Structure 1
Amino acid sequence: MNAATTRGALLAALACVLVGGSFTANSVLGDYPYAGGQFLRYGLAWLLLIPLCGKGATARLRSLPPRAWGRLALLAAVGMVGFNLAVLAAERTAEPAVPGVFVGCAPVVVAVLVPAMDGRRPQRLVLYGASSVAAGAFTVQGWGRTDGAGIAFSVCALVGEVGFAVLAVPVLRPLGPRLLSATVCGVAAAESAAAGVLLDGSAWLRRPDAAESTALLWQAVVVTVVGFVCWYMGMQRIGAERATLFSGLIPVAAACTAPLVGTGSYGAAQAVGSALVGAGVALGSGALGTAVRLRRPRPSARALPERRRPASLAVGRGGGGTEPGADVP
């Protein structure tokens, strides 16, 4: 990895750790109206992100074609509002581990879907790493009680997780991580308000109590503002395929923080699953492949016939491909 891809990996990892550590806040908001909570979370995040977008943000938004705006609306509806609603609906008839296992399969889906959209084959290292990440997420969380509805909504949650990465790919370059995060938060806030009025009427929004206010502030400031910007900055540097590998850190972070608040324990299964996730991330990101190549002995120049010895051997081997987003400073 070069410096840009290393920063991208660290940013994606930080974003997923923040999301995984936010499950405690989700439990506090269990009795708060869903749509109202989403509106407050994304609305506050939008207000905080707008000053960070810099000059020219309005011009960049105006230059977007209608198709791009449709993609942004779909990204907010599927990857943000819809994802959270699907998880909430799944947990009504299924234990939380069930949607977690399905969401843990997102790296595998993205590893296949993104190359297919580009007209190329999946990278084997990324696909193998994604499979290890999915297996690790399953090992960390286990499998719980569920029914048909729980499985169906868990599949919807998987679609939302995949959409959050895949739908952002074409609009990330023209908007950049900050403006993209601000725009989708604004759109998601509007969609949440509309859904709340249609589904819950006048009860869609109420004043949160002290604990709910703290949880909503955490979700808005840390998970959304910091997490979204870090996620899209990481994806800009290493690509959607490799960035989604780090989503396996979400259940790992949740398992590590659960003992701190007395909602779970960290045992042998969680340790094995964490190791599988780490190995999958390293393999998929190319770190292990690079290490293997560095350990593999190079053929000596003396073994080559003198008349076939390339001149480049005198100065060492150069060149090589670049990682997605490697040109990003």
Structure 2
Amino acid sequence: MNATTTRGALLAALACVLVGGSFTANSLLGHYPYAGGQFMRYGLAFLLLVPLAGPGAATRLRTLGAARWLRLALLAAVGMVGFNLAVLAAERTAEPAVPGVFVGCAPVVVAVVVPLLAGRRPQRAVLYGALAVAVGAFAVQGWGRTDGAGIAFSVCALVGEVGFAVLAVPVLRPLGPRLLSTVVCGIAAAESAVAGVLADGTGWLPRPDAVEAGALLWQAVVVTVVGFVCWYMGMQRIGAERATLFSGLIPVAAVGTAPLVGSGSYGAAQAVGSALVFAGVAAGSGALTSGRGRRPAAGARRVPERALEKL
């Protein structure tokens, strides 16, 4: 791995570890309105990201066509608001790491879908690594306490995780990681407000208690501002397929932090599964091979713009 690839891998890994920790934070928001909490999270993150958007942000936004704005709205709705609402809903009847198991399958889906949409065959090393990551993610959690609703919402979380990577590919290059994170957070806040009013009426945004406020602040500042920028910086450097491999770290981080709030345990099975996740990430991302001869990944800087527009 060269310096750029190594940095991209580290950024993607950090982002996914932060997201995994947010699953445990979500368990502290079980009685707070879904959409209201997402509005507070993304609204605060948007305000914090605006000064970081970089020079020429307004100019870059004006060059976006209607199709790209629609994609941004869909990215926010599916990959952000929908993903988090699905996780929160799943955790009403499931242990915090259960949706993480399904999200851990995202690398397999992305390893197949992204190349097919780009008109090429999946890369064998990435696909095998993704399968190892998915098996490891399952081993980390096993099949803990859940029910049909928990499984259904966890599947929705998987769809959201895949959308968060795939839908961002064509808009990452023209906007860059910081401006992209800023824009989608603003859109997600607006979508959450609309969903909150429709679902909960005037009670959609109650005052959070101290525990809920701490969880929301963690999600806004650490998971969203830091995590989103790191994720898109990583994806910009190593591509969507390899970056999504690191989402296998989400259930590892989730099950590792669950004992902190008394909602899970960490034992031998979790350790073995974590090792398998790390091995799959290392093999699929190219950490175990030299940088020569590897095909460019979709979403990386060297992919032509026309190829990106196919996604």
TM-score normalised to the size of structure 1? Answer: 0.87
**Count of residue pairs the alignment pairs up:** 301
Query: Relative to 1, partners in 2 of residues 1:261 and 1:206: Cα closer, same or farther, differing over 3 Å?
Result: closer
Report what 1:84 is aligned to: 84
Report what 1:15 is aligned to: 15
Counterpart Cα distance in 1 of 2:93 and 2:256: 25
Describe the SS at the equivalent of 1:212.
Answer: helix
Instruction: Quote the offset at 1:247 in angstroms.
Output: 0.5
| Most deviating of 14-23 and 181-190 | 14-23
Instruction: Quote the offset at 1:245 in angstroms.
Output: 0.5
Q: Does the aligned pair in 1 maintain the 2:111–2:122 contact within 8 Å?
A: yes
Instruction: Say if 2:306 is the partner of 1:288.
Output: no
Task: Structure 1: state its 5+ residue gaps.
Answer: 292-318
Counterpart Cα distance in 2 of 1:208 and 1:151: 28
Cα-Cα RMSD: 1.9
Instruction: Quote the offset at 1:242 in angstroms.
Output: 0.4
Report what 1:301 is aligned to: none
Describe the SS at the equivalent of 1:157.
Answer: helix
Counterpart Cα distance in 1 of 2:232 and 2:17: 14
Counterpart Cα distance in 1 of 2:206 and 2:148: 33
Q: Which amino acid aligns with 1:259?
A: P
After TM superposition, the structure 1 = structure 2 runs for residues 94-173 of structure 1, keeping only pairs within 5 Å, are 94-173=94-173
Instruction: Say if 2:58 is the partner of 1:67.
Output: no
- Following TM superposition, the consecutive aligned residue runs of length 4 or more in structure 1 with deviations greater than 6 angstroms are none
Report what 2:49 is aligned to: 49
Counterpart Cα distance in 1 of 2:256 and 2:207: 32
Q: Does the aligned pair in 2 maintain the 1:136–1:274 contact within 8 Å?
A: yes
Deviations along 1:74-103, one digit per CA (max 9) or x if unpaired, are 000000111112223333444445422221
| Most deviating of 151-160 and 125-134 | 151-160
Query: Relative to 1, partners in 2 of residues 1:110 and 1:171: Cα closer, same or farther, differing over 3 Å?
Result: same
| Identical positions, percent | 83
Counterpart Cα distance in 1 of 2:255 and 2:97: 11
Q: Does the aligned pair in 2 maintain the 1:5–1:323 contact within 8 Å?
A: no
Task: Structure 2: state its 5+ residue gaps.
Answer: 304-311
Instruction: Quote the offset at 1:249 in angstroms.
Output: 0.6
Q: Does the aligned pair in 1 maintain the 2:101–2:251 contact within 8 Å?
A: no
Q: Does the aligned pair in 1 maintain the 2:71–2:167 contact within 8 Å?
A: yes
Counterpart Cα distance in 2 of 1:277 and 1:177: 26
Instruction: Quote the offset at 1:131 in angstroms.
Output: 0.3
Deviations along 1:37-86, one digit per CA (max 9) or x if unpaired, are 10010000000001001221011111100000000000000001111122
Instruction: Quote the offset at 1:262 in angstroms.
Output: 3.5
TM-score normalised to the size of structure 2? Answer: 0.91
Counterpart Cα distance in 1 of 2:59 and 2:187: 18
Q: Which amino acid aligns with 1:283?
A: A
Instruction: Quote the offset at 1:3 in angstroms.
Output: 0.3
Report what 1:192 is aligned to: 192
Describe the SS at the equivalent of 2:31.
Answer: coil
Describe the SS at the equivalent of 2:288.
Answer: helix
Counterpart Cα distance in 2 of 1:245 and 1:269: 21
